[in-house]
Amino acid sequence: MFTASELLENFNSHIAGLQFTRTPKGLYAPVEYVLSMGGKRIRPVLMLMAYNLYQEDVTRIYAPATGIEVYHNYTLLHDDLMDRADRRRGKETVHKVWNDNTAILSGDAMLVLAYQFMAECPQAFLKEVMDLFSLTALEICEGQQMDMEFEDRNDVTAEEYLEMIRLKTAVLLAASLKIGARLGGASVEDAERLYDFGMHIGVAFQLKDDFLDVYGNAKVFGKNIGGDILCNKKTYMLIKALEHANAEQRDQLNGWINAENFQPAEKIAAVTELYDRIGVKEICEDKMSEYSNRAMESLAAVSLAEEKKEELKKIIENLMHREV
């Protein structure tokens, strides 16, 4: 069995060696640029880890693992354009380096390339893999649309938010694990349990991300703290704050949500203090623990020796113990 670090190092070398030889170069240069930014590559690593539970030579599924990574980066490229984000992983985003039209077209090319890479899986699994990949891609679009619609709503429920992050974030982690497991020879039942494992850690991962945006250390977290508060993003934290606040606290929260002129640091401090008084930190921590425990239960049900599951267990531990 490979460790996650070993899989990441080897897969990074594979990605670095990719060459897009088709023309025009202006279409493929942004693709190479996006893939060169690095990142944790958690989705292809999960696919390789699931495969490695059953088979040793993980290089045999580098093509579909590349497909997952190219697809994920395609979503980030278009997300950055939709959000008008200037930077990604410390570098300028594609629409800043080139322009909006190039970002759209190169992103479209990445989607096609992702399908081509994914279709290089063994013929015996082709329909099963492509059906799951296509469903996952569609679900991610659904999650993104929900997220956009939430911006104009003041009645988003916690259940709706959890469903949105399941679709937008968790399904791709889940699909990565299930595809890797099936390609490795896992039973349909065990592959589904690994899918559930990925789903639960995906929701926990996004909840942790929301949590760290309020309570994280900017140097460790990798981005400024309080961004969600400044843009009134309908996170689990805000939804639960409004749900559990008393009348006075709710009025104060709504005052900050509706404020047009404010000092960013003052708003972040005031809303964070309200979260503390309402008990949102503990509510979010409890929900994260609930999903991480569900993930552990799904993993425990997989019919493999415990030592084979250790690297997957470490992923949950790393997720839930990221520094604040």
Q: Check residue 318 and give its pLDDT.
A: 76
User: What pTM value is reported for the model?
Assistant: 0.94
Return the percent helix, strand and coil in the chain, to nearest 5.
Answer: 75, 0, 25
Residue with tokens 């279709």: 119
What is the per-residue pLDDT across 265-313, written as a single tens digit (0 to 9) for each?
999 999 999 999 999 999 999 999 999 999 999 999 999 999 999 988 8
Is residue 221's pLDDT more than 70?
no
Q: Check residue 100 and give its pLDDT.
A: 95
Confidence of residue 137 (pLDDT cuts 50, 70, 90): very high
Kindly state the helix (H) or strand (E) to which residue 16 belongs, with its residue range.
helix 4-16
Among 173, 105, 106, which residue's Cα sits nearest to residue 143? 173
Confidence of residue 219 (pLDDT cuts 50, 70, 90): low
What is the per-residue pLDDT across 239-252, written as a single tens digit (0 to 9) for each?
999 999 999 999 99
Three-state SS across 16-52?
Answer: HCCCCCCCCHHHHHHHHHHHCCCCCCHHHHHHHHHHH
Q: Check residue 85 and give its pLDDT.
A: 87
DSSP secondary structure string, 87-101?
A: EETTEE-HHHHS-HH
Confidence of residue 109 (pLDDT cuts 50, 70, 90): very high
Confidence of residue 222 (pLDDT cuts 50, 70, 90): low
